[in-house]
Amino acid sequence: MTNEEFNTFCASQTATEHVVQWGGADVWKVGGKVFAIGGWTKVKGQADKEVGFTFKTSENNYLFLENKEGYRPAPYLASRGMKWIQKIGVDSSEDEALRYYILESYKMIAAALSKKKQRELGIIN
């Protein structure tokens, strides 16, 4: 998945907001809460930066992904005990899975909003 594809997918979700912050990262929010981050990331042991996509996960998905090749616990977020994973690199064979995880992150963040806020944003009726 490219940065453009990432941004298009995130924008297609209901009531999302896009901001650029944290050194030029594409930060996607719903109801003011972050659900996905895209941008360049430093990978330990490598001189160059790679594209990275960060998202919140369930406990089970976190345990599945934390040691899977191409994924890692998200820098800063996971070190604080939060269940966030970062997909590293532009491997198109993982696009469908990455869309699934980003959508799940969106759903978790949206579900944590108050019912009133969800209605205001058009997430629920």
User: pTM for the full model?
Assistant: 0.90
* Mean pLDDT value of segment 10-18: 98
pLDDT band of 114, cuts 50, 70, 90: very high
pLDDT in tens, 39-83: 877 766 666 677 899 999 999 999 999 999 999 999 878 667 789
pLDDT of 12 > 70? The answer is yes
What distances in angstroms separate CA 9 from CA 6, 83, 111, one per listed residue?
Answer: 5, 21, 19
Alpha helices in the chain (DSSP H): 3-11, 59-65, 95-112, 115-121
By residue count, the chain amounts to 125
Tokens standing for 55? 């998202």
Structure confidence at residue 56 (pLDDT): 96
